[in-house]
Amino acid sequence: MNRNELQELLEKASNNLVSGVSAGGRLFKAVGLPLWLEKARGPWLYSLDGRRFLDFHTSSGAALLGHNHPAIAKALKESIKMGFFCNHDTIYHHELAEKLCRIIPCAEKVRFANSGSEATMAAIRLSRAVTGRKKIIKFEGHFHGMHELTYYNCHTPITPLSKTGEIDAVADSAGIPPEFASEIIVIPFNEPEILSSCIKRYKNEIAAVILEPVMYNAGCILAKKDFLQYIRKETEKAGIILIFDEVLTGFRMALGGAQEYYGVIPDLCTLAKALGGSGIPIAALAGRDWVMNGLNPKGNTVVSGTYSGHLMEIMCSLAAVETMSVEGFYDTLNSNADYFYNEINNLINKYSIKAVVQGVGARFAIYFGLTEAPIYDYRKAAKEYDFDGNNKFLVKAWEKDLYFHDFANKLTPTHHGISSSHSRKNLDLALGKIEDIFKKF
């Protein structure tokens, strides 16, 4: 297929799919087309027009083990032999939960779900039930799923801080009733004084604080470790449940996720994406007994679903966790990641590109317009970010068969990533192409 034929396909698909795609973010706006695939293997994406892309999207991080990983494929086949049933438990459900409770620092109990959005909804509902409070503190720029409970100030324009440091809650989507905003408190990240005054001001109204331990939603903005420690101390003191949304950070830089990496343990965490290893849809809510025991049937908080803990998901996740638990897995993954990020930064410096790469574990971002790292300040990053420079890079990378996904966020870049299937040879191939791009940038 040539470009004209792909354009015709998009127009035809638009007769039945909104804008020709099954999710809004799949239309690569900088190119004007989605990337239609025929198959995917390891770090490679094979497109409908006969091209082979080296993948730095990795299904928004869901393919940490690469595509069509043999252990995941084997688990899928085994589940098919068993009847690929749902809405029943097996010995494998217990086995996976037991493994998660061993490797995730906060996990004493687990409840499975289907998506990160489901898991964060459950975490907030459970927190409200257990504490008897309503309000939720979330941080500007953090993403916790596309539901009314937290879908505020993720990609909305930067607005001034109030005198108290709070930010007006602005919904990220049409169709969210304004009444929902009354239970959301939005504040900037890495600002302990604002957090402290907010907790004091609302006293016994706050059920939970929810956050991304690394702001991958904004590319890769780091938490200050002392800030996370401060949140932990203040929430414990105030009887507030601390939720780490580890949908993206889970398994990313360590087997125990960001809570292991930072050494700060929340009361609850949400897991998804890499939990499936190779693009298998599964999520989980995990946490301390005193919170998790509020779930039905032991408690009165209903979190359930026909497809929750589907046999195929459980068996694939079990295979994924076993693969990630192999000695040396993270040594190799993190070594490759650090090598790749450092080498891109070296190329940026060599060709005097106004940009900086920041990454933690297997995910990273290229901040065009910024020149200093580490990056902790979301507002500063959003102010300096060069959206046009980023788009220019994305299109040139596409032309060279490197797939860096485009969500067309004008505030901060999309998070990119490598998988365990990306060899040093694959990364060097990409670096050669990136150097060719920067030479003429």
With a CB cutoff of 8 Å and minimum separation 6, the contacts of 196 are 230, 234
**Signed CA dihedral, 286, 292, 296, 297: sign only:** positive
**Which tops the pLDDT comparison, 421 or 6?**
421
Would you tell me how many other CB atoms lie within 10 Å of the CB of residue 373?
Answer: 15
The per-residue pLDDT for 5 is: 87
pLDDT tens column, 240-287: 999 999 999 999 999 999 999 999 999 999 999 999 999 999 999 999
pLDDT tier for residue 401 given thresholds of 50, 70 and 90 = very high
**Signed CA dihedral, 101, 107, 112, 114: sign only:** negative
Residues 163 and 234: their CA atoms lie apart, in Å, by 21
Residues 59 and 45: their CA atoms lie apart, in Å, by 11
Q: Mean pLDDT across the stretch 153-177?
A: 94
pLDDT tens column, 84-107: 999 999 999 999 999 999 999 999
Is CATH 3.40.640.10 the right assignment for the domain spanning 70-324? yes
Residue 1: pLDDT above 80? no
Domain locations in the chain as residue ranges: 3-68+328-439, 70-324
The per-residue pLDDT for 25 is: 85
Q: Mean pLDDT across the stretch 62-84?
A: 97
pLDDT tens column, 106-147: 999 999 999 999 999 999 999 999 999 999 999 999 999 999
pLDDT tier for residue 27 given thresholds of 50, 70 and 90 = confident
* In contact, 109 and 287? CB cutoff 8 Å: yes
Residue 185: pLDDT above 80? yes
Both tokens of 91, joined, read 């010995």
Q: Mean pLDDT across the stretch 306-323?
A: 97
pLDDT tens column, 48-60: 999 999 999 999 9
pLDDT tier for residue 209 given thresholds of 50, 70 and 90 = very high
Which candidate, 376, 386, 393, places its Cα nearest to that of 411? 386
The per-residue pLDDT for 233 is: 98
Residue 316 burial (CB < 10 Å; 0-12/13-18/19+)? Answer: buried
With a CB cutoff of 8 Å and minimum separation 6, the contacts of 202 are 135, 185
| 3-state SS track over 302-338 | CCCCCCCCCHHHHHHHHHHHHHHCCCCHHHHHHHHHH
pLDDT tens column, 357-387: 999 999 999 999 999 999 999 999 999 999 9
With a CB cutoff of 8 Å and minimum separation 6, the contacts of 10 are 20, 33, 34
What percentage of the chain carries pLDDT values higher than 90? 92
pLDDT tier for residue 203 given thresholds of 50, 70 and 90 = confident
The per-residue pLDDT for 291 is: 98
Whole-number mean pLDDT of the chain? 96
Both tokens of 66, joined, read 């690469």
Query: At residue 398, what is the residue type?
Result: W
Q: Mean pLDDT across the stretch 173-181?
A: 93
What percentage of the chain carries pLDDT values higher than 70? 100
CATH, range 3-68+328-439:
3.90.1150.10
The per-residue pLDDT for 189 is: 97
With a CB cutoff of 8 Å and minimum separation 6, the contacts of 387 are 368, 410
**DSSP 8-state symbol, 149:** T
The per-residue pLDDT for 29 is: 85
Q: Mean pLDDT across the stretch 189-200?
A: 97
pLDDT tens column, 217-236: 999 999 999 999 999 999 99
Looking up tokens 């788009």 gives 391
**DSSP 8-state symbol, 362:** T
